[in-house]
Amino acid sequence: MGKIILRLDRVMADRKISLKELSERVGVSNVNLSKIKTGKISAIRFSTLVAICEALHCQPGDILEYAPGADSDP
């Protein structure tokens, strides 16, 4: 089965924005954004995804990547 890979860390690095600054812009706690950044989530609200994309001036596809046939966790 495939899986979704979160690339928030890469987009944040490209934009040179810290977790704290993104947290303030998006209105989501550091802890929850950190979980998104590290991929330790099973779901994300569309409203959160919209807020992240607005703050980072990006598209959802910049943050989310589908890996077909990828194993779950190593």
Per-residue pLDDT tens digits for 24-70: 999 999 999 999 999 899 899 999 999 999 999 999 999 999 999 85
Q: Quote the pLDDT of residue 1.
A: 86
Q: What percent of the chain has pLDDT over 90?
A: 85
- Kindly tell me if the per-residue pLDDT of 72 is higher than 60: no
Please give the Cα distance from 73 to 58 (Å, whole number): 27
**Count of CB atoms within 10 A of residue 13's CB?**
10
SS3 17: coil
Q: What is the mean pLDDT of the chain?
A: 92
Please give the Cα distance from 69 to 74 (Å, whole number): 13
Q: Which domains does the chain have, with CATH numbers?
A: 3-67 (1.10.260.40)
DSSP E strands in the chain: the ranges are 3-6, 64-67
Rounded to two decimals, the pTM is 0.85
Q: Which residue has the higher pLDDT, 12 or 72?
A: 12
